[in-house]
């Protein structure tokens, strides 16, 4: 049997947008971020040790459930920024919204999920103060990944 590579995480997610400058302005109204690089047809936003790629592409209809979960340090601050920008969150139990190009984004609070970053990455991002909820710690412990 051939050995397979083990999927261990994401380096980046790429979103198709109609206009790079409009996309940077849109996401800049919602989130504090560092622009890693800007090209004519793409922009790259740092997410600590990962990044979000915005790529210029053709217009398309909003999707019907395809999405990605964007982890934030403060979910309530994200909710308020979304509402202040005039965006209506999608119905359902999660904080989901569509960007102007039909990309569905689910906002997830860092403290409530098993996704974690190494202490040196958290320090470098200025968010070392964030703590996991007991539920998130339990999920990590069940996988042998609880922080020390």
Determine the average pLDDT of the residues in 126-144: 90
Determine the average pLDDT of the residues in 40-56: 94
Helix (H, G, I), strand (E, B) or coil at 54: strand
- Report in angstroms the alpha-carbon separations of 145 from 115, 137, 139, 141: 10, 9, 8, 5
pLDDT at 2 over 90: no
The rounded percent of the chain whose pLDDT value lies above 70 is 96
Q: How much is the pLDDT for 5?
A: 64
Domains of the chain, earliest start first: 12-58+65-112 (3.10.180.10), 114-148 (no CATH)
Which pTM value belongs to this model?
Answer: 0.86
- 94-132, pLDDT tens digit by residue? 999 999 999 999 999 999 888 888 889 889 988 899 999
């Amino acid at each position: 049997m051939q050995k397979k590579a083990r999927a261990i995480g994401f380096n980046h997610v790429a979103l198709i947008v109609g206009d790079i400058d409009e996309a940077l302005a849109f996401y800049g109204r919602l989130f504090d971020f560092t622009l890693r690089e800007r090209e004519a047809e793409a922009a790259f936003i740092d997410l600590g040790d990962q990044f979000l790629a915005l790529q210029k592409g053709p217009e398309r209809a909003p999707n019907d459930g395809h999405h990605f979960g964007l982890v934030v340090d403060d979910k309530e601050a994200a909710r308020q920024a979304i509402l202040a920008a005039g965006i209506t969150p999608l119905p359902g139990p999660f904080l989901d919204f569509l960007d102007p190009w039909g990309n569905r984004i689910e906002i997830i609070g860092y403290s409530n999920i098993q996704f974690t970053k190494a202490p040196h990455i958290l320090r470098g991002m200025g968010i070392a103060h964030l703590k996991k909820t007991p539920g998130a710690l339990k999920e990590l412990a069940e996988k042998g990944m609880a922080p020390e």
